[in-house]
Every structure is written in C-alpha cells, then in structure tokens.
Structure 1
Amino acid sequence: MTTTTSTTSTSSSGTITSLGVGSGLDLDTILDSLEESAEASYLTPIETKEDEINTEITAYGTLTSALTSLQTAIETLTDPDTYDGMTSSVSGTGATAAVTSDAVAGTYTVVVSQLAAAQTLATDGVADKTTALGTGTLTIDIGDDESISIDLTSSNNTLEGIRDAINDAGGSVTASIVNDGSDTPYRLVLTSTSTGTESAMTVTYSGDGDAASLFGYDADSDSNAMTETVAAADAQLTVNGLSVTSQSNTVEEALQGVTLSLTAEGTSTLTVSQDTDSIIDAINDFVDAYNSYAETIDTLTAYDSEDDTAGTLIGDSTTRRIDSQLSQDLYNSISSGTYSYLSQLGVTLGVDGTLSIDDDDLEEAVTSDPSAVSEFFIGTDDVEGFATQMAADLDTYLDEDDGLIVSKTDGLETQLEELEVKYEEKQAFIDSMMDRYTEQFTALDTLIATLDSTADYLTTQFDALSSDS
C-alpha cells in the first residue's frame, strides 16, 4: 500500500488556520454561496423596494417642477398689474416718454421750445496752472439752498489745487481746467450739476493775490470777474397747448403717469394706450406651462402595451387627483362678466390634453375689452376667476408645509427610513448566521483533518505489521 502524507494545515495549537485545508473541501465557496443566497432572500427585496420608492420620489420631483412652472404662470394672470399696464409711442422730435399704469389713454401733442440747461462759468486765463494765486476764501452758492466754501492756502491755491478742492467738496458743482490755446490758456470752468434757473451759481472771493481778479460772479451785477458761458435755463414746453416749465429735461407728472424726457426743440405726438401685449404674453405663458405639465403627466402615467412598460406614477391616486382637478378647472364656467370659458378667448383644449391658441380670437378679445379679460381670470369680490381657482388648487398641491405632494413624498421618505432599519436588521441576522456557519465549517474541517491524520497513522501501522510478518 502506498503511504500518503496529509496536507492539512494546522497551527502550533492544532487548530485549522485556513478553512477547507483540513478537509480538502471548498468551504469558502460554499460559505460565499450561502451568504449570496441569504442576501438574495433577505436584502435584495428591500433594495428593490427602495429603488422603486426612490424612483417614485424622483417622479414626484419632476411633477412638482412642472406644477411650479404652471403656478408661476397662473399667478401672473391673478395679478391686477398684468391688466393695468399702459404703453406709449412717440412720433416726431423733441421728446420720448415712459408711462406707468396710472397714465390715461389718449393722444397728446408735446411742443418743446427750450431745453433746460446747467449754468457754466469760466475764469479768465492764466499762464501756468501751477502758479500760486493768493490766499483767502472762495464761496460758491448754488441756488438758494447750497453753499460751498473753499479756503485757499499755500497747499491748494493753484488753479489745479482750487479745481481739486472744489471737486472734493462734493457739492452740486464740478470744476475743470480748459486750455483755450492762447498765451494765457488755462481757465477754471465751474458747471452746475443740475439744470434750471434754481441751480444758478453766485461766486465770491475774499482774500489777496490774483484770485481776487479771477473769481466772482453775480447775475445781478454788471461787472463780473468770471464769464457765463452757458446760462442756467428752465425747460419750456406745451402739452396739448398748455404751458409747462421744468427745472429739468425730465418732466414728471405734466401728464398723469407719464415721464417725458426732452431731447431737443421740436414737436412730437405721444400716444398712450392699454398694454394689451403684456396680457397676451401672460396667457401664452400660461398655455405653454400647462402644455409642459400635460406632457409631464402623460410621460409619468403612460403605458406601452408593446413593451409592457409603464410610467412611474401610473395608477397613483395622488397624481390622478391632481390631473383630474386641473382638467376640471379648464372646463369650469366663470359665472360673471362677458367671458365664461377659456374657449371664448381663443384658448381650446385638444384631444391630446394640451391647449392651443387662436391668435386672432385672443387678440380680438383682449384688445376689445381688456377689463372683461381681467375679470375672467381674476374674478370679482363675489366670484372666483379662472386663474384664482387654479391658483388655489395649485397651492393645495404645492404648499411646502402640508401640500398634497409634500405629504405624499414625506410618506415615501418615511418608508425609506423604515426599509433602512429593516435592511440593517437583516444584515445583522445574515452576519450572525454566517459567523455560525463559519464556526461549524471550521469544526468540520478540524474533525476531518483529525480523522485523516488518524487514518494515515493506522495505515502506517498496518503497513509496518505487514512488513514484519
């Protein structure tokens, strides 16, 4: 009989150090198979359910996005400012205009005979803008309400220093130096920052040096050291024949709700009318948002019989409730005013669940009676309008505290948390079971290794006895 040598690996204490070595069995593979089987039985169903819930939460996020866009569009239609807007157009020369909702529709003739101007004063020229001009006090009065006082000292009494000191004072006058190209080219120029006669300047100087002959201006004086190169002037205009005087070329409230910007002498015609384009744009935005929502719903609840695939929210009661209510809103009759249905405005619902617009019908409705369109969408004190009804429904769905969708997704999040706890429990059970299997397999490995060792010993002894005989 051939003698065999055992390949069982044991430690110095006689225990198995590598599972399966003692028995020759692939116990590691068997343990892995048992663990995979346990995970498939206990963990995979939980993971599958978690995936389903996460997919549903994502679908609700998509639905929420579409509903939020629709809510934004419908809120514009509930805003009275959408229907109160006015627009203007100007032909001719002399003025442009901006209007608010307070403007009154009409046609106005604006004749500008004089633009408002800011006063400019200039000194005589000096040869060097860095030459000291004396010490004293330079005072500039702007209108009746503002006065700037500049102390001229050795640190600032050049033409450049005086310019900088005036500008640093931060008043309603600016100073600059102009070079006129003569033998004494440098002239200090003072310009009021505001137009109109109320911003005219008076300049006085008390002190010594050349500054005394350079500075000084009073409109009531016949002899002035400074020259008025541009006289302060008020804007002069007429609006439909009525005279208007303005300190500025921006004329506010000469016409209610209208700001005129005067640009030149001339005549222009201003037309103020209802801004129907903003109403039409708001209705178009609503239709686009609704159609985007309808397409989203169609995708989330679709069923493909050929592929046997279904949208994530097919059969979902919350989604059905939302879609049913919003569809009903489209058909609801508004019981007051000229218009009762969307279709009377040229907006109709197609068989595919989307809205379409007849541009001619919509423009006709909006331009002929914008107040009736406003009443249809906003309603009155006694009756809700189309937009206010739908806005209320959307608030019910999208409220961040207790809205229908938040409640639904909160419930799904709770399910995820419960599944996570269950997953951890099942994982702990599997780990405990695998520890028990490992102990049992180790014991089996040790036992088989011992039996193999005993068998080898006995075989050796029997072989020896046979040899002796």
Structure 2
Amino acid sequence: MIDSNIPYLLGAGSGVDTKSLVEQLVSVEKSVRQGQIDTKRENYETRLSDYGLFKSALSTLQSSLAALKNPETFTAKSVSFPDSEVVIPTAIEAGAASGTYSIEVTNIASAQSLSSGVFAAVTDEVGKGVLTFDFGAWDTGVPPSVFTQNTNKSSVQITIDDSNNSLEGLRDAINGANMGVQASIVNDGSGFRLLMKAESGLNNQLSISVAEDETTPTNNDANGLSRFTFNETALQLTQQQQGRDANLLMNGLAVTRTTNEISDLIEGFTFTIAKDAPGQVVNINILDDKATSEEAIRGFVDVYNEFLTATKNLTGFNEESGDYGSLARDALAKSMLTKIKNTITQPVAGNNGVLNALTNIGIRTELDGSMAIDETVFKKAYADNFPAIKGLFAPVTQSSADKIKVTGFGNDTIAGDYDVVITQAPEKGYFTGATIGSFPVDTTGKDYGLVLEVNGKASGTINLPAGQSYANGTDLAAALQQAINSDPALSANKVKVSFDTDHLVITSDAYGATSLVSLTSVGADVAELGLSAGTGTNGKNVAGTVNGEEAFGLADVLLPAFGSNAYGLKLRILPGATSGTVSFSRGIGDTLDMLVADFLGSQGPVRTREDGINKELSELDDAQDALDRRMEAYQARLQAQFTAMEAIVDQLNNTRDYLEGAFENMPFTAQRR
C-alpha cells in the first residue's frame, strides 16, 4: 500500500501532515469509548482477582474445620502406664473408656506345637491318605490322653496323594488349608522334622487322625502317613508345647483370652501381654485427651480472625491502599460473610445442652467482628463440662430408646428432635425343623448331608463331622451351625442354629423380606435330625413413622421420608423397639464446613460470580473488537477524504504554476524580480 503521506514528505500537495492529522482525529474519536472499556476492564479484572483472594480465604477457613467437625477430636484419649515388660499398650482409640485399670497376668496364652519324627530329606515320601484335623482341648497330662472337641470349629481334611506325597508337600497342604495351623520344616541337626503350630488357646489344640490309602491301612502306627497321628488312640507326633489360654485379673476380676493380643477387655484399648507375672500388678490410666480439641478450637479462632482481616480489605476500607476494596459494593460477597458470622454467633440448632453457643465457653465476638477467648471461662468450661463441648462443634446424634440407633445423617438433615414410632419390628427369615426322635445323635456311617439356600445364596453340601456323637440338641445345633457357617459359599450369609424344645431352628443373620432359609437337598438320614427339603419363612422389613410421616424400611434400617426435615437420618431398629425420640445437632464446625463448601461448590455463589465477571470481560473483548473495527473504518474514510483533497490541491497548484508561466512569457510583460 502506498503511504498517503508521500506528498507531504515530498513537499507537494497542501503541505499538511494528513497522516498525523488523521491519527489524531481517530484518537480523539476513540478516546471516550476506549476509556469506558478500559475502566470497566480494570474494574472487572480487579474484582475477579479479589474473588480469587476471597475464595482462597474461604478455603483456608474450611481447612481449619476438618478437626473441629470431627467427633473423634473431642473423644481422643491418652494413656499413662509404667514401663513394663508384662503389659505393653499397642493402640488406643477415640472414645476409649476412661478410667484406671489394674492388670495382673497370671499366665500368657500359648499355642500347641507338635513335631514329627526325623526325615532324611524334605522330598521323602510321607505316605498317602487323608488327615483329619479336629480342634479342641487336651488334658494337661504328659503326654495328654483325653481330648474334648471344640464344637464351634469344624474338622478339616487334607488329602495326600501322588501330587504331594513328600514332607514338603504335606507342609504346603497344611498351610494351604488356611485352617489356622502353621506348618514348617526344621532341621534339628539329626534330620528334617515337620513342626506344626496351632492357634493359641486351650480350645484350639489339634487332634489328628489318619485314614491311610493302603491295602492294609493301620492308621495309628509309626509307618506311612500314620506317623502324623495325634489322637486319643495314638500319639505318633511329639507335643513340644501345650496350648493354653491367657489368664488375667482386671481390677480383681478373673478373665481368660485365647490370645496375647487383648483388644476386647477395655473398650477402645489394645495391649499385648508378654510374660507370666503372677502377683505383679500393672496400673493403666486412660484419660480424656483435652489438648487435641483445645488445639483445634484455638487454631480455628486464629484462622477465623485471619479470614476476617483478609476479607475486610476486599469488602471494606483497605487502610494500606487508602481506598475501598473492589468487593465493597458486591452484595453477594457481603451476604456470604454475613452468613458465616451468623453461624458463629447464633446458638447451635438442635443442641439443648448447657453449652450451645461459643459464648458459653468464653469465645466472644469483638466490636470489629473478630473472636477472642476469655481464658477464665474457657478453662472452666473444659474443667466442668468437657463432654458437652463436643456438641458445640461436631455433629451429635442421640436416641431415647436403646433399641433405636442413629447410625448416620445427611447434608439435608435439619437439626432437631424427631419422634419415631415402630409399627413393624424387623424380623429374620428362618427354617423350622420337625421333632427329633431321640438322642444321642451319632454321625458314624450316616448321610447327614444337606444343601441350603440362605438369602438367595446356595451352599455346597454341608456335612456334620464324621464319627461324632451329640448327646443333646444344644450340642447338635452348635455343630450344625459351625458346619454351615464354614461353607465358603455362605461367607456373607451366616446363620444361627438353635434347639427349641424338641426341634432345630435355622435362622438367617440378615433381617428383611429377602431374608430366607430353605433346604434344597437333603441326605438319606437327615430326617433323623427333623429336617427335610422345603422353604422356610421370610423375614420382614421394619416399618414405622418419623414425626408422623411414613418412613421407608429396608431390613432393619428405617429412613425418614424424602423431603422431610429428618431426611438423611439413618436409623437401625432392633427387635423389640416400639417408639422413641431421636435428636440431631450438626455443631458449628460441620454447619460452617457445609456452608463454605456450598460457597465454593461448582454451582455455588463464588463460581457463579466468577462466571458472571468472566462473561462481562468476554463482552468487553467483543466491544473492543467492534470499536477497533469502527475506528479502522473511520480512519480509512478520513484518509480517503484527505487523499482526495491532496489531489485537488495538487491540481490547483499545477494550474497556478501554468498560469504563472504563461503570464511570464506574454509580450510586453515584465519579469518578476
């Protein structure tokens, strides 16, 4: 493109710098609208940046609420104990039972250990056949002679054939059975021995019988697979250590456990007993760990004050800049701050206790909106009402009926008290047998196999242990229950077998309309147990109302109606429940966390405002593009007009020059000097 300013540069035309003139005219024309766009852009970009700072301040505040809304922060425990080689604490949970406990270890638990004879190599054959492992208690004789079977544990059989007929094959077969018996091969200097270790405890000891796969099996002698027998008939294995229970005294009360890892003696506290120490008492003190919650509360107060300082510069007068923040007139930002302040200053909804507001524990709001702690009131609250502090900050659920349990709540649950009325208690499905003719029941040579379906899941074939005699219905029920619950196919569908007067009852562990026990197949002799193929009785779902509104029942869980104030509560109803009142309060920590989470959510007000500002900036980009296009057209129009003017001026100059030359060349015309 030819520069339109060339005539000016060559000294031709009008002599006016039209390019500069056009640029100045365009600049004047553009300046007002450009100023408006620039001012708006600066304002929007500042607000967007400040909303980023506002969002960061909210996120920091929310982070400080994690511990504050956690109930375990207020139920944390500490434990004090002497340096002891007898009792060794290993874990303490929030909510552990506070108190002082004296523990005396009479003796620790031990596991039975059995060893075989010597083998020259681990690949030596051991003989073929079937080993049956029974579990129970041996007498304390050396060697033992009387074995009492543990009817709560089923027998386990292991087959040794050509695929695993070796010492190491037998070891692997035992370990692969996953029955709680550990097998290893030890070289004691004279050769290789199989060493078997049962689980610790008196009733976890082993009785091993053998059925040899031989033409003339002996089953109990010192040859072939019989070398691994250990029963009342033959003791071919050597007992290296007898199994026994741990015996302790806790606060003078005698207790026994099968293991040295004790987790169910003191609620929430786990410890190990390491050695026998009769007469030696170890005192353990479990105390409320108040420091954890105090640190969380003080940390929250500090973070909240920092939050106020950060947001004040954005929504109020910024003393550093000497001007108001960009969000000073932003109603949405101020509304969020107001909601946060109201949450902190108002009493906790649903909390009717003595501590239901921050002022009750000495946390007061100053004139500038910040929080300060009155140490005297704060320490007194911790000393006198520490359990109640939890309800001030963390969610709390309560029930007036011990058979109505509150197990959960939702984001939509509104704090308050709710009356619960049970119109149908939950029931389990069951199968009822017929009268059993007589006792004892002896399984020797009998086909007592049966196949069940529990809650829609089919079992494998269930068999009572062979060669056993049950003197009464209670023992028979216990053995059948153990056999059923040991079936892998029913690992998630356990049953309870009971003996009611003269017949067996098999009851599902599950509640609800889908809870059902059926016998789909029975062996030839199962009728002697009063059992036959058939379908049992279905269980029932719980039914009831919450605050007069029909609730939804599934199994033993009752859920309040959708849209009701109680919606989100999860109630577990136990058999025998009739009515009760459940209470729910969310606490300042959880309420504030939900509020901030809503502010920062993908559909929350912060994102909505940011999207709105970004939309305004996008529209300004469009306005800028439109202005630039209009100014380009305006500049082109002015340039064309000035170019046309220059052409006319140039023509006039040419005419002038021509006339001046003509006049100078006319006769009798004097020359200019």
Shorter-chain TM-score: which interval? 0.7 to 0.9
Per-residue deviation at 1:120? 2.7
Match of 2:299 in 1: 285
| C-alpha distance in 1 between matches for 2:347 and 2:339 | 14
Match of 1:137 in 2: 129
Distance 1:128 1:329, change over 3 A: closer
Aligned match for 2:187, one of 179, 192, 205: 179
Q: What is the aligned residue count?
A: 445
* Counterpart check, 1:20 vs 2:4: yes
Compare 164-173 and 442-451 and name the one that shifted more: 442-451
Q: Secondary structure at the match of 2:156?
A: strand
Match of 1:57 in 2: 48
Aligned match for 1:368, one of 384, 398, 402: 384
Q: Secondary structure at the match of 1:399?
A: helix
- AA of the residue aligned to 1:414: G
Per-residue deviation at 1:247? 1.8
Q: Which structure has the higher relative contact order (CA within 8 Å, separation 6+)?
A: 1
Residues 344 and 588 in structure 2, CA contact (< 8 A), matched pair in contact too: no
Residues 393 and 589 in structure 2, CA contact (< 8 A), matched pair in contact too: no
Per-residue deviation at 1:181? 2.3
Match of 2:156 in 1: 147
Compare 270-279 and 340-349 and name the one that shifted more: 340-349
| C-alpha distance in 1 between matches for 2:637 and 2:238 | 111
- AA of the residue aligned to 1:42: R
Matches within 5 A, 1:181-220: 181-182=189-190, 185-192=191-198, 194-205=199-210, 206-207=212-213, 212=224, 215-220=227-232
Residues 416 and 584 in structure 2, CA contact (< 8 A), matched pair in contact too: no
Per-residue deviation at 1:162? 3.5
Compare 459-468 and 96-105 and name the one that shifted more: 459-468
- Per residue, is there more strand in 1 or in 2? 2
Residues 200 and 232 in structure 1, CA contact (< 8 A), matched pair in contact too: yes
Residues 163 and 175 in structure 1, CA contact (< 8 A), matched pair in contact too: yes
| C-alpha distance in 2 between matches for 1:354 and 1:74 | 17
Match of 2:248 in 1: 237
* Counterpart check, 1:413 vs 2:611: yes
Per-residue deviation at 1:264? 2.9
Residues 105 and 272 in structure 1, CA contact (< 8 A), matched pair in contact too: yes
- AA of the residue aligned to 1:188: L
- AA of the residue aligned to 1:178: V
| C-alpha distance in 2 between matches for 1:34 and 1:148 | 104
| C-alpha distance in 1 between matches for 2:180 and 2:133 | 10
| C-alpha distance in 2 between matches for 1:407 and 1:100 | 39
Per-residue deviation at 1:83? 3.8
Distance 1:168 1:331, change over 3 A: closer
Distance 1:22 1:111, change over 3 A: same
Distance 1:450 1:70, change over 3 A: closer
Per-residue deviation at 1:65? 3.7
Q: Secondary structure at the match of 2:228?
A: coil
Distance 1:197 1:27, change over 3 A: farther
Match of 1:106 in 2: 99
Match of 2:598 in 1: 399
Match of 2:457 in 1: none
Match of 1:88 in 2: 79
- AA of the residue aligned to 1:55: T
Match of 1:249 in 2: 260
Residues 116 and 194 in structure 2, CA contact (< 8 A), matched pair in contact too: yes
| C-alpha distance in 2 between matches for 1:462 and 1:146 | 136
Match of 2:235 in 1: 223
Per-residue deviation at 1:402? 9.6
Per-residue deviation at 1:66? 3.1
Match of 1:157 in 2: 165
Match of 1:428 in 2: 626
| C-alpha distance in 2 between matches for 1:259 and 1:302 | 54
Unaligned 5+ runs, structure 1:
1-16
Per-residue deviation at 1:165? 4.1
Per-residue deviation at 1:176? 2.3
Q: Secondary structure at the match of 1:268?
A: strand
Per-residue deviation at 1:113? 1.9
RMSD: 4.7
Match of 1:11 in 2: none
Residues 22 and 449 in structure 1, CA contact (< 8 A), matched pair in contact too: no
| C-alpha distance in 1 between matches for 2:18 and 2:364 | 72
Distance 1:386 1:297, change over 3 A: farther
TM-score normalised to the size of structure 2? 0.54
| C-alpha distance in 2 between matches for 1:85 and 1:122 | 47
Distance 1:456 1:364, change over 3 A: same
Per-residue deviation at 1:268? 1.7
Per-residue deviation at 1:174? 3.1
Residues 174 and 182 in structure 2, CA contact (< 8 A), matched pair in contact too: yes
- AA of the residue aligned to 2:308: A
Distance 1:265 1:442, change over 3 A: farther
Per-residue deviation at 1:177? 2.1
Distance 1:319 1:181, change over 3 A: same
Compare 318-327 and 161-170 and name the one that shifted more: 318-327
TM-score normalised to the size of structure 1? 0.73
Compare 413-422 and 232-241 and name the one that shifted more: 413-422
Per-residue deviation at 1:290? 1.6
